[in-house]
Structure 1
C-alpha cells in the first residue's frame, strides 16, 4: 500500500498548497519509518511470514506504531511539530495525513493492528484483510494513485507549478505503484 499512501499525500497537497509535499509524503509513511527504526533496534516490532509470499502476506507485529492509540499519538506529535513550523492548519493537515496511514492499513492488513500500544489488554486485533485478495488490493491502490495523480496535476496547473515537476511527481507515484504491486 506504499503507493496508495503516497498518492493520498498528493491528493492532500492538491487541497492544501501551503503544506510542503515532502512533509505530506513523509507524514503518510511516518508510522512505517518509526516501525523500521523499532524493528532494527532489537526487534521491538517485526514481521512473521504466514504464507511464504510477499510483504502483504505477512503478519505485522507493529504493536506500538500501528496500534490505534499509538498512531493517534504519533499523528498528534507530528501535528504539533508541523504546526510549530508551518502554522495551525498545515499542522492539522500533517497530523491527519499521518493518521490516514493507519486507516488505509486497517483496510488492507490482516487482523494484526492492535487498539492499545503494546497490545495492552490483549484486545482483539483489527484489520479487514484486503491483501488476501491481491487483485482487489491492487485495484484500490491503483484507484488511489490515479486519483492522487490527477488531483495533484490539476492543482499544480492552477498554482503555476512547473509542469515537468508535476508530471515527474505523478510518474513517480505510478512507478512506486508498479514496484509495490510487483513485490
Structure 2
C-alpha cells in the first residue's frame, strides 16, 4: 500500500508541477492585470499543493525507513532472546550432564569449561540457533570428554521419573529442568 501511495504522490506532484508551470507561463503572458492576479493566485495554490505533496512523500519515505529500522531491531531482539534461551537450555543440559557423570573436583573444572564452551558456540549465533539441540549436546559431550549417550538406555529408565535407573546421563537430560 505504501508503494502505491508513493507512486500516486509522485504522479500527483508531477501533474501539479506541470499545471503550475503552465499557469505560471499564462500568468506571465497575461496582459490584463485582473487575469494575471487570478492566475498568480492559482499558481500560488498549485505550488502550495505541490510542496505539500512533496512533504507527504518525504514523510512516507521517513516512516518507511523508520519502520524498516524498527523491524530490524525487533528481529535482532528476537534473535538475541533466542540465543539467550538456547544458551540457557544447552547450559542447563550440560550442567546436569556434568553433575550426573563427573565426580569430585572434576565437577568445578567442567562447569567452567561448560560456560566457556557455551559462550564460544553461541558466538556464531546463526549456527548455534540452526543446530538441533541434540547435535549441540553431542558436541558438548565430545568436547568436554563426557560419556556418549547410550541409545539402549531408554529401556533402563526408572518408571517414576523417566531418568535412567542406574543414574547415568541420557536423553532425559535434554528435558527442561523442573523445580518440582
Q: Which has the higher strand share?
A: 1
TM-score of the superposed pair, with normalisation by structure 2:
0.24
Q: Which has the higher helix share?
A: 2
TM-score of the superposed pair, with normalisation by structure 1:
0.24
Q: Which has the larger radius of gyration?
A: 2
